[in-house]
Structure formats: structure tokens, C-alpha cells
Amino acid sequence: MGGDNTANYASGRGHTVCVTGASGFIASWLVKLLLEKGYTVRGTVRNPDDAAKNAHLRAMDGAAERLTLVRADLLDKQSLTAAFRGCEGVFHTASPITDDPEKMIDPAVNGTKNVINAAADVGSVRRVVFTSSIGAVYMDPRREPDAEVDETCWSDLEYCKNTKNWYCYAKTVAEHAAWELAKQRRLDLVVVSPSLVLGPLLQQSVNASTWHVLKYLDGSVQTYADAAQAYVHVRDVADAHARVYEARAARGRYLCAGRTLHRGEVCRTLAKLFPEYPVPRKCKGAAGETNKGCRFSGRRLAELGVVVTPASLGLYDTVTSLQEKGLLPRRTAGAFDSSVVIP
């Protein structure tokens, strides 16, 4: 990276960047934001000719003039090199989300290595922004229950393996590999680690984090687990990616996590906002709601100007989006009560 390390981009105009896995939930919002900021965007997808899957990307403002979709595979380094050639920045968002080790580990780890090597090879890339996960941060049995989790924390790989949490295992190994390889290749790398992401869908299909909400509304579950999770709005995640790319002084890891809610609090909020749905009212665990989850630091992103949206607004936006897309039937009973205070 040359030039003034404290300067930021005032506009994306005249700058070309690439987003891997462009049709995904986070990536779609990131592509939308980058186009709004004036960037020329190259998005990698499995099949650029899949009109249905890519329709929401091609319909975005500025897409006709400044969005190109190219075929690329994370396990094919040459396809990534071709996609990155001529780009100043790469946003690596593409990753499977599964606890099947065969489907998770190889694409996450070797795919990330291919992205770093391809970005270094083309010579034009000034920064790579890698979408990691809080799954690479908080899985550590030695952590004190009330301790705040920040960017210095890492998930314990043996603990991930012993609990068969292959998603967290793969994201942790992938991020470690990214940092090591970026150092070897002298490539500027910045990492964003989101918690569970909520908000409206741009794509037509339900993704993993959206299903987390949908299952409490469609009658498929009658109880909720004794578990807690940090939530963050997808717009905030896209904003975080753009800001860490544009802020030339940005370095290291940035946690992108809002408020931690128990599943019971999620269900009670959904029931208040959408009383017409059969939202579960009982905890599955006999001991009740004992899991408090983690407190995540948001200081580093706040310093860059990222403002975190309340989790309950993320829940509301997720449900209304599911309704608008016909993925969740509207019920005739009940209506949204505007007097409900969103915590």
C-alpha cells in the first residue's frame, strides 16, 4: 500500500473491487453498497448465466454500468486470479455454512488460501477484506463467563473438534491461514468477524441465519433452546466491510456483533412484533433460561463510525422481508403494534 496511510476514499468512482460469492446474503448487501458508493464491482458466482439466482444483483442501481459477474471457484486458484486481475480490492465473503466437516473445512481453508495467493499474484490489489466469524473468536472453555470477548480472542481448535463444531473450527483455521499467508505474501489483510446476521434478504432464497428466525414463526418448532447468540444487522455488516476497506489506517480484526439475546428473548420479541404467528413460548431445557452467551466488544468498529442497529429491528426487518418475498405467509390474525418498544 502506498500513499497516505491515514487517508480514506472519498468516493469509489474510478476504483474496481471484487466480491467473492456475490450472490450470498452478506455479499449481496455489500455489492449494493459498493455500487451506491460508485465502485466498479466484479462479483464471483458459480454460474453467471443463472438468471434467477443473480437477478437481484443485476437489478441493483448502477449494476448495468458497473457490475460484472464472473465464474469462479474457491478451489480453482486460476479462476480467482482471472477474477481479481485489475482490481484494487478484494472482499472475500464466500464460505459454506455447515457443520459437515467434508463440506466445510476444505472450501473454507484452502479456498481462503487461494484467495490470498491469487490477490497477491495479480499485483494490483491494495487490500483484502476477509469475512471471518465470531465462530473464530469465542469458542474457548477457559473464557470467564462474564469476560468481554474482543479482537484478541481466538477459538480453541481442540474444543471445536471435541464439540464437533466444524464451522467454528474451519473458520478459525481459515483465518489463521489467511493471516500467515498474507504476511508471507506481503499482502494487506483486514478481517471482519460478524455474529449471526439478520435483516432483509436481497436474494430470493432463505439462508442459514434467516432460517434461524423463520423456524420460530412457521410452526416447525414448539420450544426454543437454552442458548444465547449475538445478532447484527446485515446493513451494518456491509457498512463494516466498506469502512475497513476505505480507512487506510484500518488494521487487524474487527468484531461486528450487536446485542446478545437469549433464544427466549428472541421469541418474546417476535411474539410482540408479530403476534399472529405460533412463536414458541417454552424453553426446551428443564433448567430454563440459564445461558447468558458472550459479550462482544464493538469498540474498534465504532471508532470507524459503524453504528450497530438494535437486534429487535433486525428481527423485524427479517420477518417483513420473508413476508414480502412470499417465504413466510402473512397471517390474517393480529397486526404489528407500533406501540411495542423495540429494545
Q: Would you please indicate which residues are annotated as catalytic (active-site) residues?
A: 171
Strands 228-233 vs 260-262: parallel, antiparallel or unpaired = antiparallel
317: nearest Cα among 336, 296, 295, 294? 336
> What is the spatial distance between Cα 121 and Cα 116, in angstroms, rounded to a whole number?
9
Helix (H) or strand (E) holding 19: strand 16-20
> What is the spatial distance between Cα 273 and Cα 187, in angstroms, rounded to a whole number?
46
* Identity of the residue numbered 328: L
In the 8-state DSSP scheme, what is residue 247? B
> What is the spatial distance between Cα 343 and Cα 341, in angstroms, rounded to a whole number?
6
Residue owning grid cell 489463521: 176
CB of 328 within 8 A of CB of 218? yes
Assigned C-alpha cell, 174: 481459515
- Secondary structure (3-state) at 254: strand
For residue 301, report the phi and psi dihedrals to the nearest 5 degrees.
-70, -35
Q: Return the percent helix, strand and coil in the chain, to nearest 5.
A: 40, 15, 45
In the 8-state DSSP scheme, what is residue 8? B
* Distances, alpha carbon 56 to alpha carbons 144, 147, 222, in Å: 44, 41, 34
Length of the chain: 343
- In order, the DSSP letters of 207-223 are -HHHHHHHTTTSSS-SE
- Secondary structure (3-state) at 256: strand
* Identity of the residue numbered 114: N
